[in-house]
Amino acid sequence: MKSKFDAIQHVVAELRESGDEAVSDVGVLLRALLTRPRRRLVLWIRLQEWLDATGKHSLARLVSARIYSRYGCMISPTARIGREIAFPHPVGIVIGDGAVVGDNCTIYQNVTLGRQSLGPGGYPTLGSRVVIFAGSQILGEIELADGVTVGALTLVTKSCLTPGSTLVGIPARALVAKKTEA
């Protein structure tokens, strides 16, 4: 299990921006808390994850309630969220218990990553560099490949395993597969 220091270093590295080399770790955390709402949400999520991973489930649920009251986002402490997540407009986002979000993903406002029906399991898995635009719903036990872009107001209920695809519509359909660097 990672120590508290390792968890803080991970968060600081994620929040640090270019030009921040001379800024202390405390300075990076304070700036994120005070001036950057997008990064502030990431900080709360990482705290919630750490509390859940260290067995402090009640405290993790309290942080989850704070995230909900402040941002209107319901992000489960048991969802697995990769590094360098971006929330350009952090409001109304729902990420369910079993959802997996890869590294370097971008999730816009009013997006849901959840189950398609009641019952165990059934959450989506996103690859790296996935971008999900406003109002989209990714539902069920499906997988989106690396580099997939989901257009605004799109309902995705089937896996898309072609890297770099663009999904749009209700139900989602692939428009084009753009080339991604491996």
Domains, the chain, ordered by start: 1-72 (no CATH), 79-182 (2.160.10.10)
* pLDDT band at 47; cut points 50, 70, 90: confident
Q: Is the pLDDT of residue 3 over 60?
A: no
For residues 36-62, give the mean pLDDT.
Answer: 88
Give pTM, 2 decimals: 0.82
Q: Is the pLDDT of residue 148 over 70?
A: yes
Q: Is the pLDDT of residue 21 over 70?
A: no
* pLDDT band at 92; cut points 50, 70, 90: very high
* pLDDT band at 18; cut points 50, 70, 90: low
Which has the minimum average pLDDT: 10-19, 31-40, 107-116, 153-162?
10-19
What pLDDT is attached to residue 180? 62
What pLDDT is attached to residue 99? 96
Q: What is the DSSP letter of 124?
A: -
Q: Is the pLDDT of residue 2 over 60?
A: no
101 Cβ partners below 8 Å, 6+ apart? 79, 80, 81, 82, 85, 95, 107, 113, 126, 130
What pLDDT is attached to residue 106? 97
What pLDDT is attached to residue 79? 94
Contact status, residue 165 vs residue 148, Cβ threshold 8 Å: yes
Region for 101 from its dihedrals, namely left if φ exceeds 0, alpha if ψ lies in -120 to 50, beta otherwise:
beta
* Residue whose token pair is 């991604």: 180
